[in-house]
Structure 1
């Protein structure tokens, strides 16, 4: 009986690192029959879908959309109305990891992951022994500046949400910093209001918030304060490194506000 060939998979999140990795692999290893996938929660930003279309057009690739058998609202009920959080990342498991593992099944697979050489984090989103992770950026010694260069030279560039947000992920992702929540309200008021509804609407009356210690509406009341603090931090960073790309300055400022490591399945 002939053994099935090893599958090569690369997950795209709609973020800069996974996109740059797709470009790199096409350039350096065109012989690899890569399978590209995107775990679609149906809670993504419009800019994410637009960026995925740009990737497909520029690279001439097909991106397989993977979906959970049941949507976010179903799993929210299963978990008793408890919103996902850094300590309880059920959304990643149910809507990212399990659809991917179903997609792979028992096939032997090599998964290409966009963790950079300047990042101090390891690990993989699946513990299945038939899925082997590899880290091409680390192998080639590529850092953040290289990733930006790869994207600029490819003509893909950065997603539009990088003007106000430094990570990909769902519009209500709990890893968003306070400034990003404010800017979600500014750029996509309808999505911000949907996130507010998730906080407010619980049939058993319990209260949960996306950010620790305050509701989104309370946070929005401090909008001017949050924006002012952010602008001061941006001006300070730009003065320290005047030639630094704006997206890099934004990411640096936001990382200082909150340096929690996000889920690898969502934010590469």
Structure 2
């Protein structure tokens, strides 16, 4: 009987935690395979950072989803029905399925960047041949350690953290109101592209919007108000590094983003 191959894989989202994990594990698991599930709707800063990370690791980051893009699925499989917090077909189709296809039937050890100071597990496959491990939790590493790893590597964090608290598609429905404003100011072309996905069903009087409770046109009209609210909240906080401050001034009470997209 021939033993099955054991593969070690690490999925990158373009976010700080998975990137730090790749750096942390580089010399510990030489045979590590790195991959990125590309939705076709990533921020330019994400692609730029992945290129830098790839050079640092000295190994290729396999890009998955060359043909299975968000636009293809939206039109051909989901009848232009936008994903939402309650119907996250984008995560299932563009992140989970491609990963499990990438793993195939091999015995796979999947390295996940959940920190020791986080009370969550992230996505864990139900396939019996895929085992998730959590090196940061095992080593007791917390947020400050992740930032140290990134800074010591010389890579730092992706540029989008100047205005965004997580990685993911440019039109991600988990974006905060202020982050939509940030997209409008830094990537007006992508903000306009996101607008074109929204629609109104006159028969059912139903609106399909990315941002909860309002269209992007409505959000844009009050962008100055949103920025004022964020500034007022930030002024009441203790002095912190800007990335921590950004994460502290959420307009929403909870953060239920899809972890497989944003780690």
TM range (shorter): over 0.9
Per-residue deviation at 1:10?
Answer: 0.2
The RMSD of aligned alpha carbons is 1.8
Question: 1:79: which partner in 2?
Answer: 78
Gap change, CA 1:204 and 1:54, over 3 Å in 2? farther
Question: 1:39: which partner in 2?
Answer: 37
Per-residue deviation at 1:68?
Answer: 6.3
Question: 2:242: which partner in 1?
Answer: 246
Per-residue deviation at 1:79?
Answer: 2.2
- Matched-pair contact (CA < 8 Å) for 2:200–2:208: no
- Matched-pair contact (CA < 8 Å) for 1:66–1:99: yes
Any unmatched runs of 5+ in structure 1?
none
Select which of 52, 55, 58 maps to 2:53: 55
**Residue 106 (1) aligns with residue 105 (2):** yes
Q: How many residues align?
A: 261
Question: 1:158: which partner in 2?
Answer: 157
- Matched-pair contact (CA < 8 Å) for 1:38–1:64: yes
Per-residue deviation at 1:200?
Answer: 3.3
Map residues 99-248 of structure 1 onto 2, 5 A cutoff.
99-200=98-199, 207-237=207-237, 240=238, 242=239, 244-248=240-244
Per-residue deviation at 1:126?
Answer: 2.2
Mapped to 1, the partners of 2:203 and 2:53 lie a distance apart of 43
Per-residue deviation at 1:12?
Answer: 0.5
- Matched-pair contact (CA < 8 Å) for 1:15–1:168: yes
**Residue 267 (1) aligns with residue 262 (2):** yes
Gap change, CA 1:210 and 1:236, over 3 Å in 2? same
TM-score (norm 1): 0.92
Deviations 1:139-188 (A, max 9, x none): 01111111111100010100000000010000000110000001100000
Any unmatched runs of 5+ in structure 2?
none
- Matched-pair contact (CA < 8 Å) for 1:125–1:264: no
